[in-house]
Structure 1
Amino acid sequence: MSQRSVTHATFALERLYPASPARVFNAFADPQAKALWFGGPDEWVKGERTFDFRVGGRETSSGGPVGGQMHAFNCLYQDIVPNERIIYTYDMALDGVRISVSLAIIEIRADGAGTRLVLTEHGAFLDGYDDPAGREHGTGWLLDKLGKSLQADAPAA
C-alpha cells in the first residue's frame, strides 16, 4: 500500500459480570482461564501463543480462518494491580502487516454481588487496514465471550 494514514480513536466498553473481581481478574491472569475466551471464532485455526502476565511481560496470540489471513496479537503489560487494573499496549497484524497499535486499560470494580469491568482503548489504526468500529465490535464480542466463560466456570452454590 503506497498511501499511508493513521486513524485515531478511543472507545470504552462496560460489562457487569456475576463474578467476584478476583475471578474476573483471574480470567485475564491465568493462561488456561484466558484461553477459554480470548481468541477468534471456534472454527479458526489456532496459531502460536505465549503468555507472561507480569509488568514488562509479553503475550502473543495468532490465528485465523482456514485459508484466510492470520491475525496476530502482540501485547506488552505496562501496569497490573491484582483484582483492580490491567494496562497494556498491543499491536495487531494481518499476515505480518501491522494494522494497529493501541493502549488498553481494564478497570475491575466490585458492583453489588458482581463485578463491573470497564475497558478503554486508545487506538491508532494504520493505513486503512483496520477501523475503530470493527475493533470496538470485536472487543465487545471478546468481552461477551469472557462473560460466558465466567458463567460456565462458576463455582457450585
Structure 2
Amino acid sequence: MRSVDHTSFVIHRMLNGEPARCFRAFSQAEAKRQWFSCDERMETAEYSLDCRPGGSEINRVRLLGGEDHLYLAHYFDVVPDHRILFGYSMHVGDRRLSASLVTITFQPRGEKTLMTYTEQVAMLDGLQEVEERIRGTELGLDNLERKLPQL
C-alpha cells in the first residue's frame, strides 16, 4: 500500500568539544565515517562526503549477506562551526524508506557544544517506523560522542 506519514523530531546533545571540532565531525569525510553508523556490524561498500552547498554524501553499507542500505544526502546550507542543512533519502535494496530535511546547529557552551539535530521526515509506504529512525539517529550520535575526543 502506498502511503506517506510526515513527522519531525529534535535531539539535543551536549558534546564535549568546541563547535569547530563538532562541526568537523559532521563535515569532514574521514571524521564522519568513523562514527556514522547505527550498527557496528555494517560494512561500508561506498562512502563519500562533500559538505558544502550543492555538495552530496553517499553512504552504502550492508550486513554480511544482507541488502544494501543506502543514504543519499544533498547539502543546501553550510555555515562553518554553526549550521548544516541537508536533505537525505534512505533506501534498503530497491525500496526507498524515507526522505528527510535535517538542520544541525552547534552552539558554544563554555568548552562544550550544544548540538541540536532537527529532522523533518516523510516515512514512505509504511516501510519503517519513525521510532526506528529516531533510535538509529540516537545510536549514531552515541557513536559520535564516544569518538569525538579522537576526531
* Runs of at least 5 residues in structure 1 that lack an aligned partner in the other structure: none
> 1:51-130 counterparts in 2 under 5 A?
51-130=49-128
Q: Is the 8 A contact 1:40 1:63 kept in 2?
A: no
Query: Aligned pair 1:11/2:17, yes or no?
Result: no
Equivalent-residue separation in structure 2 for 1:124 and 1:100 (angstroms): 6
Contact 2:38 2:139 survives alignment (8 Å): no
Is the 1:18–1:114 Cα contact (8 Å) retained in structure 2? yes
Offset at residue 40 of structure 1 (A): 4.2
> Are the counterparts in 2 of residues 7 and 124 from structure 1 also a CA contact under 8 Å?
yes
Conservation of the 8 A alpha-carbon contact between 1:40 and 1:64:
no
Residue 35 of structure 2 aligns to a residue whose secondary structure is coil
Question: After TM superposition, which residue ranges in structure 1, 4 or more long, deviate above 4 angstroms?
Answer: none
Matched, 1:49 2:43: no
Larger radius of gyration: 1
TM-score normalised over the length of structure 2: 0.96
After TM superposition, the score normalised by the length of structure 1 is 0.92
Q: Gapped runs of 5+ residues in structure 2?
A: none
User: Structure 1 residue 42: deviation in Å?
Assistant: 2.6
1:23 corresponds in structure 2 to: 21
Task: Output the aligned Cα RMSD.
Answer: 1.1
Q: Does 1:142 align with 2:140?
A: yes
